[in-house]
Amino acid sequence: MAYFWYKTFHLVGIVVWFSGLFYLVRLFVYHAEAKDKPEPASTILKQQYELMEKRLYNFITTPGLILTAAMAIALITTEPDVLKDGWLHFKLGLVVVLIGYHFLCGWLIKRLAAEKCLWTSKQFRALNELPSVLLVMIVLLAVFKNSLPVNSAILSIVLLIVAMIATFQIYGKIRRRNQARAQLQSET
């Protein structure tokens, strides 16, 4: 019975953690764009984003990480033989990358607050796609385990990345076009 409780809260932790990571980097996008706004809006927006970023990181994202990790350890204690499976080693490797991403976000919060971050909103948009790819890979491993159809999985990941890049490019073109229209309208 303990296994099901651990698994339930492991999944809850994952949802909370990923929700925080997805929203946090979206806030970085807005924070980076705030510097292009006229004063006093720029200062007000940057202060608001700093507050939101810190709260999200400290009160949602990091507790989500801790709950996920604690319940993963608890799950392993119920089935220690799973540590012998190659799929779990690969999954844990991806989780280590994800934890690194989490702490990169914490570092970026500090850099943005100190106004020492040189990242652009476009770079933050690209960074925001990494946890999506990691999530898909981790879920594939968790579901298929040792029977993962590697060729299909690789194809799926490549298609996902291509779709993300295409969406990113299309969004950029639409955004530039709308900005050009707005500038034309303000000039007339």
Spatial separation of the C-alpha atoms in residues 153 and 119, rounded to whole Å: 32
| Nearest Cα residue to 140 out of 123, 157, 124, 126 | 157
Spatial separation of the C-alpha atoms in residues 82 and 80, rounded to whole Å: 5
* Alpha-helix residue ranges (DSSP H) falling in the chain: 2-34, 41-56, 62-78, 86-113, 121-127, 130-144, 150-187
pLDDT digits 0-9 by tens, 100-153: 999 999 999 999 999 999 999 989 999 999 999 999 999 999 998 988 788 787
Q: Record the pTM.
A: 0.85
Amino acid symbol at 133: V
| Nearest Cα residue to 95 out of 117, 119, 120, 76 | 76
Amino acid symbol at 138: I
Q: Is 116 helix (H, G, I), strand (E, B) or coil?
A: coil
> How far is the CA of 178 from the CAs of 30, 125, 171, 184, in angstroms?
17, 18, 11, 10
Joined tokens for residue 91: 């999954």
> 6-15, 110-119, 138-147, 174-183: which has the minimum mean pLDDT?
174-183
Spatial separation of the C-alpha atoms in residues 81 and 78, rounded to whole Å: 9
pLDDT digits 0-9 by tens, 55-93: 999 999 999 999 999 999 999 999 999 999 999 999 999
Tell me what pLDDT residue 148 has. Answer: 77
Per-residue exposure over 15-29, b if at least 16 CB sit within 10 Å of its own CB, e if not: ebbbebbebbbebbb
Tell me what pLDDT residue 43 has. Answer: 95
